[in-house]
Amino acid sequence: MKRVLVTGGTGFIGSWCVLSLLDAGHTVRTTVRDPRREPALRSWLHAAAPFDDDRLTVVRADLEHPDGWDDAVAGCDFVLHVASPTLRHTPADDDDLVGPAREGVVRVLRAARDAGVRRVVLTSAFGAVGIGHPRRSTPFTEEDWTDVDADIPPYQRSKTLAERAAWQFVEDEGGGLELAAVHPVGVLGPLLGPDDPPSLRLVRRILEGRVPACPPFAMGYVDVRDVADLHLRAMTDPAAAGERFLAIAGHSLSVVEIARILRDRLGERAAKAPTRELPVWLTRALGILNPELRLLRHQLGRDLDATSAKAERLLGWRARPIEDTITETAESLLAHGVGV
């Protein structure tokens, strides 16, 4: 078994990657910005599955600062670089996300190269693939890149430019370091702890009745546990070196379809889920006053579908049914007091 560094181990995807690695028998080191979160992280992980505490080490490192990264990667065979600035609040400026994301990924790659790490798996996003393009009828693939010259949100711009910087670094200065990138669509699934992942915000607000009518767009979704599984496959499979992999369960879903699944599966517990979809023109008008709706302006009236055929073909990856994931997401949120 190998020693693996996971950056951002307290995050939604990062914590599931840590758990999956421990379950597979690996020794894991993970970075956190605040060491005071270590007891909570260990508690979440132990509640989900048994493991030997000696196989998990938690160290402090911050993407925005150089300190700690050489020690974090020392002795590691692989790195899962999951950590990235996230959209918990609407940023005032693109540079709030773009600079730290781009500089952070290069910082991690440089430390990994210098430590003799074999391969880094970068957690990118669909936001680096399918944003800023004209309408299309075919699903997005790994050959597509988000158009950063278009009028796009800061988060998608940051993920795209960070991934571009990663590939450029490996080409110019990698010195044999291998890179693979995983591109999840909207990530759902059960919580390991009482965190508030931005990707669960839609389901949370539907359950709470804070979405009186559904915004008109469709996109893909995938289970966080399947995202972690794809990271592990991309870490060790020779076919993954130098490749990008989209992660989506089946096909895209509209918001009103998600609401319908919640009503069908949860009954009265999802009684606040909306039953109708807003017109595009009205959603745009409401976005003038609502910054979160305004962030959706590029998606309104569109179907941002994608395909995971490449991951299925090259790595044997399979996603669980998204209806089950949506149900388990809601069950987990309700268990943590949402919607009550």
> What's 307's domain CATH number?
3.40.50.720
**pLDDT exceeds cutoff 70 at 92:** no
Lowest mean pLDDT among 21-30, 88-97, 136-145, 248-257: 88-97
Position 272 scores a pLDDT of: 95
SS3 218: strand
CA-to-CA distance for 161 and 5, rounded, in angstroms?
23
When pLDDT is cut at 50, 70 and 90, the band that residue 88 belongs to is very low
End-to-end CA distance of the chain: 44
Catalytic member of 2, 159, 272, 310:
159
Q: Which residue has the higher pLDDT, 279 or 234?
A: 234
Q: What is the tally of structural domains in the chain?
A: 1
Whether 178 is in a domain gets the answer yes
* Percentage of residues in the chain having pLDDT higher than 70: 96
When pLDDT is cut at 50, 70 and 90, the band that residue 289 belongs to is confident
Parent domain of 131: 3-335
159 annotated active-site: yes
The model's pLDDT over 164-199, given as tens digits with 9 standing for 90+, comes to: 999 999 999 999 999 999 999 999 999 998 888 899
Whether 94 is in a domain gets the answer yes
Beta strands in the chain (DSSP E): 3-7, 27-32, 56-60, 78-81, 119-123, 178-184, 186-188, 218-219, 221-223, 244-247, 253-254, 303-304
pTM: 0.94
Strand partners, 11: none
Whether 266 is in a domain gets the answer yes
CA-to-CA distance for 186 and 197, rounded, in angstroms?
11
Q: Are 220 and 288 in contact (CB under 8 A)?
A: no
Whether 301 is in a domain gets the answer yes
**pLDDT exceeds cutoff 50 at 6:** yes
Average pLDDT, the chain: 92
When pLDDT is cut at 50, 70 and 90, the band that residue 94 belongs to is low
Phi, psi (deg, nearest 5) at residue 276: -130, 160
Q: Which residue has the higher pLDDT, 267 or 85?
A: 267
Instruction: Write the CA distances from 69 to 58, 60, 77, 120, 182, integer angstroms.
Output: 13, 9, 15, 14, 22
Whether 175 is in a domain gets the answer yes
Whether 202 is in a domain gets the answer yes
- Diameter of the chain measured on Cα atoms: 58
> Angle, nearest 10°, between helix axes 12-23 and 38-48?
60
Whether 254 is in a domain gets the answer yes
